[in-house]
Amino acid sequence: MTNFTSWITVCKESDLVANSGVCALINEQQIAIFKVKKAGQEQLFAISNWDPIGEANVLYRGLVCSVGETIVVASPLYKQRYCLSSGTCLDSDEVKVVVFPVRLEDQAVQLQMSQ
């Protein structure tokens, strides 16, 4: 189990594009950050950028969509869908990506990282 301890400022909110992803390199780990606007509400999500099925750092380039009420990103490689809030793969029960706590503080996007 990962122990999240400190908040790190990654970028400004204005650096994010609605319903799209960006990639940040933090402690030599690529993290995909998404700003999703749905029904007038904006939410931030952060997951590992590593696609465990395609075996490449590409998830930030994926298509953001929803399956019912679940907001997902579809990998640009083989189109597996990963839930942005839980990291579970909707297409393969045994596959999951890491989810990072993310917040907005004074227009700064922050991730909670383990030390």
For 8-62, the pLDDT digits (tens) are 999 999 999 999 999 999 989 999 999 999 888 899 999 999 999 999 999 999 9
CB proximity list for 6: less than 8 A, separation 6 or greater: 112, 113, 115
Residue 22: strand pairing partners: 33
For 77-114, write each residue's pLDDT tens digit.
Answer: 999 999 999 999 999 999 999 999 999 999 999 999 87
Residue 115 within a domain: no
Count of domains observed in the chain? 1
Cα–Cα distances (Å) from 75 to 10, 12, 61, 81, 92, in that order, read: 23, 25, 7, 6, 13
Please report the beta strands in 16-107, taking only residues with DSSP state E, as ranges in sequence order.
20-26, 29-38, 41-48, 50-51, 56-57, 63-67, 70-74, 81-83, 102-105
Nearest to 55 by CA among 86, 84, 77: 77
Residue 18 within a domain: yes
Q: Are 72 and 84 in contact (CB under 8 A)?
A: yes
Higher-confidence residue of 56 and 1: namely 56
* Structural domain containing residue 72: 12-106
- At 2 the pLDDT is 58
Residue 31 within a domain: yes
- At 38 the pLDDT is 83
Cα–Cα distances (Å) from 38 to 1, 6, 42, 68, 105, in that order, read: 31, 29, 6, 12, 21
Residue 114 within a domain: no
- At 17 the pLDDT is 93
